[in-house]
Amino acid sequence: MPQKLKETDVVIIGVGMTGSIIAKELAAAGYKVVGLERGQPRFTVPDFQSPSVHDELRFDVRKALMQDNTREAVTFRNNSSQTALPIRRWESFLPGTGLGGSHVHWNGQTYRFQANDFELASRTRQRYGAKFLDPDISIQDWGVTYAELEPHYDRFEYLLGTSGKAGNLNGQIQPGGDPFESPRSRGYPTPPMKEHFQGATFRKAATSLGYHPFPQPSSNLSQPYTNPEGVKLNACVFCGFCERYACEHYAKAVPQTIILPVLMRNPNFELRTGCQVQRINLDSTRRKATGVTYIDAAGREFEQPASLVVTTSFALNNVRMLLLSGIGARYDPSTGKGVVGRNYAYQTMSTVASFFGEDFIVNPFMASGASGTLINDFAGDNFDHGGLGFIGGAFIGAVNTNGRPIQYHPVPPGTPAWGKGWKQAVVAHYNHTIMLSLHGSSVSQKQNYLDLDPTYKDAWGQPLLRMTFDFPKNDLRMAEYVTARGVEIGRATGAKQVAGNPRKGPYTITQYQTTHNTGGTIMGSDPKTSVVNKYLQSWSVSNVFVVGASNFPQNASWNPTGTIGALTYWAIDAMKNRYFRNPGPLVSA
């Protein structure tokens, strides 16, 4: 029998970025909040310190900060005619674990989506007609607009201290910024980071072709900063150990450096680590949550009653939590009915490598996770897709993050995989290559979805999440097109050799691409096609909120974190100013 604990106002499942921010706001508003985190507690001091943090083998190759997949994996197949098998080692995407979640090991690339993205389905119909899209595509409007989210993007960027250059201040285009961005109410809290050589080379080439380069918005800060919570961050020193690592310097905005110091001091908040939530419990009507059941690190089972349950775990785990709890109807791709697990999407990543001669010294190891320069000329709907046969696009940029040699040793196509030829190519190109990233959007389509695996279990005996995914044809066409534009920019740098590598199918879990997994608990204005309403409240159980990239109906051309942060503050406003005043559905179904 589980031990039943004293009731609390709010239970947070997963104390990462969104969980920390929500817990902080609700605890400050006077509610008793319990944060349940499955991983370990960890702080910049003593846990993230030099020299041990600069260990490529441990953190990059062995993935020390990631979800323990020996206990909790995901199964995968390309399509529903195959048998899904466990992802036995993480490669394609890397969910984190532990206090601070995946946000501890992120790169700090902090974008806003554009106004168009939030109304993608209707704006695509308007601009290109109802028959433009492949019939399987299931993109939707978000049910929330950019204008509604703008103050929350702003608040999130000021929490992080994001370093960047505004391109559109209240409708006025700003030189040096991104002219395609939707209007922002004020500039970034800190100026852009220093530009590395790859970024400067790209800037020159992109400008020569008439494009609009701008510095990547970075939450590795360009200068010391004290955020509105009173927490201090330092300037980034470009050590080149960012993504997959924790930052030793207090320079990367992560929960430990932006919000946890405030949250942990609030007596209304209680952090419990090593706690694996098994399910959200429902009453007999199945319309109301009564709390959660979890198992602690020593194997003891507890029931934690609560008035409000907020699931703030990694996108994939949010979906799994609803499926394990029976909240919302499961999506069935054969009928198109049901919502939980529907519209899983990803990111369509391509690259362009530009190889220079030995007199061109790049020093790739001097970088932050978010340094670099890019263009949005081929992102989103910033170019005319009429006649192209696809929607979406990619940012193209020299956003190089590191020169860690186990994983980074670029060689031209045709180089042998081993032996003297391989070794000499590595030596010839390591310090003389610029890699461009093409960070592409991802449409949702009917046959890509998440559900529970019928065979494989986690360490607690519960079904693993099953992913059924392959790249939509729309996105492969997009990748082909934008990669050709990237190759043109590569040639304009004066490189000796330029190699484009557009993303091709089938999707494979054996190669790292990105950890931008989206969808499965999508937001929207219709309970038949969304899991949560525009305030991220479950349509079927009104005292459950779900927050994360799992809310995205499809994925845009940029990294998701900025938008997750904006949605987080947006949902907090709804909880504080609407839900707690009158608990119940905030939108009538």
Partner 1 sequence: MTEQITRRSFFKTVGSATAVPVALGTPLLAIADATAMEPGDARAPPAAAAATSAPAPAAADTEAPLYLFFNAEEAAFIEAACERLIPADETGPGALEAWVPNYLDKQLGGAWGAGERLYRSGPWQAGTPSQGYQLPFTPAELFHTALRAINLHFASTGKTFAQGTAEEQDAYLKSLETGGADLDGVPSGVFFDSLLKMTIEGYFSDPVYGGNRNMAAWKMIGFPGAYANYYDAIDRHGVKFERAPMSIGEDRHGHVHVDPNIPASL
Site stretch for partner 1 (CB under 8 A), options 25-33, 78-86, 437-445, 556-564: 78-86
Of 1, 6, 30, 51, the residue at the interface with partner 1 (CB under 8 A) is 51
Which residues between 440 and 459 bind partner 1 (CB under 8 A)? 455-457
- Does position 496 interact with partner 1 (CB under 8 A)? The reply is no
Which residues between 347 and 376 bind partner 1 (CB under 8 A)? 360-361, 363, 365-367, 371
Q: How far is the CB of 357 from partner 1 (least distance, A)?
A: 12
Distances (CA, A) of 371 to 93, 105, 400: 21, 16, 7
Of 2, 4, 40, 57, the residue at the interface with partner 1 (CB under 8 A) is 57
C-alpha closest to that of 207 among 373, 438, 362, 395: 373
Q: How far is the CB of 59 from partner 1 (least distance, A)?
A: 11
Q: How far is the CB of 5 from partner 1 (least distance, A)?
A: 24
CB atoms under 10 Å from CB of 348, counted, come to 29
Q: How far is the CB of 4 from partner 1 (least distance, A)?
A: 30
The structure tokens listed for 109 are 């690339």
Site stretch for partner 1 (CB under 8 A), options 49-57, 166-174, 346-354, 549-557: 49-57
Of 2, 3, 61, 283, the residue at the interface with partner 1 (CB under 8 A) is 61
CB atoms under 10 Å from CB of 19, counted, come to 30
C-alpha closest to that of 344 among 151, 570, 77: 77
The answer for residues whose C-beta is within 8 angstroms of residue 435's C-beta and 6 or more apart is: 198, 351, 352, 353, 354, 398, 400, 410
Q: How far is the CB of 360 from partner 1 (least distance, A)?
A: 7
- Which DSSP state fits 576? I
Q: How far is the CB of 209 from partner 1 (least distance, A)?
A: 21
Measured from the CB atom, the residue of 188 and 360 that comes closer to partner 1 is 360
Measured from the CB atom, the residue of 45 and 130 that comes closer to partner 1 is 45
Helices of type H across 169-314: 197-208, 255-258, 260-263
Q: How far is the CB of 517 from partner 1 (least distance, A)?
A: 16
Measured from the CB atom, the residue of 158 and 197 that comes closer to partner 1 is 197
Beta strands 301-311 and 289-295, pairing class:
antiparallel
Which residues between 570 and 589 bind partner 1 (CB under 8 A)? none
Angle at CA 28, nearest 5°, toward 22 and 33? 60
Q: Rounded to whole angstroms, how far apart are CA atoms 245 and 14?
A: 19
- Does position 145 interact with partner 1 (CB under 8 A)? The reply is no
Which residues between 410 and 439 bind partner 1 (CB under 8 A)? 417-420, 422-424, 426-427, 430-431
Q: Rounded to whole angstroms, how far apart are CA atoms 572 and 524?
A: 17
Measured from the CB atom, the residue of 92 and 437 that comes closer to partner 1 is 92
Q: How far is the CB of 423 from partner 1 (least distance, A)?
A: 6
Q: Rounded to whole angstroms, how far apart are CA atoms 586 and 456?
A: 37
With contact defined as beta carbons under 8 Å apart, do 38 and 14 qualify?
Answer: yes
Catalytic option among 152, 429, 439, 516: 516
Residue 516 annotated to the active site: yes
- Which positions from 19 to 48 touch partner 1 by CB under 8 A, shown as an x/- string? ------------------------x-xx--
- Does position 466 interact with partner 1 (CB under 8 A)? The reply is no
Measured from the CB atom, the residue of 51 and 387 that comes closer to partner 1 is 51
- Does position 93 interact with partner 1 (CB under 8 A)? The reply is no
The structure tokens listed for 163 are 């370093």
Of 506, 577, 581, 588, the residue at the interface with partner 1 (CB under 8 A) is 506
Measured from the CB atom, the residue of 359 and 384 that comes closer to partner 1 is 359
Q: How far is the CB of 480 from partner 1 (least distance, A)?
A: 20
Which residues between 237 and 276 bind partner 1 (CB under 8 A)? 237-240, 248-250, 260-261, 264-265
- Does position 98 interact with partner 1 (CB under 8 A)? The reply is no
Of 88, 300, 337, 528, the residue at the interface with partner 1 (CB under 8 A) is 88
Q: How far is the CB of 468 from partner 1 (least distance, A)?
A: 12
Measured from the CB atom, the residue of 420 and 581 that comes closer to partner 1 is 420
DSSP string, 430-462: TTSEEEEEEEE-B--BTT-EEEEEEEEE-TTSP
With contact defined as beta carbons under 8 Å apart, do 13 and 311 qualify?
Answer: yes
Q: How far is the CB of 186 from partner 1 (least distance, A)?
A: 26
Which residues between 188 and 227 bind partner 1 (CB under 8 A)? 194-197, 200
Measured from the CB atom, the residue of 368 and 568 that comes closer to partner 1 is 368
Which residues between 523 and 552 bind partner 1 (CB under 8 A)? none
**How many of the chain's residues bind partner 1 (CB under 8 A)?**
81
As a whole number of Å, the end-to-end CA separation of the chain is: 37
Of 9, 91, 148, 150, the residue at the interface with partner 1 (CB under 8 A) is 91
AA letter at 379: A
The structure tokens listed for 17 are 């970025």
Residue 43 DSSP SS3: coil
Which residues between 396 and 415 bind partner 1 (CB under 8 A)? 403-406, 409
DSSP string, 164-207: ---SEETTEE-TTS-TTSPPBSS--SBPPPPPPHHHHHHHHHHH
- Directed axis angle between helix 561-574 and helix 17-28, to 10°? 20
C-alpha closest to that of 330 among 320, 322, 340, 344: 340
Helix (H) or strand (E) segment spanning residue 37: strand 33-37
Q: What are phi and psi of 17, to 5 degrees?
A: -65, -55
CB atoms under 10 Å from CB of 414, counted, come to 8
DSSP string, 310-345: EE-S-HHHHHHHHHHHT-SPBPBTTTTB--BTEEEE
Place of tokens 């993504």: 243
Of 70, 122, 126, 185, the residue at the interface with partner 1 (CB under 8 A) is 70
Residues labelled catalytic = 516
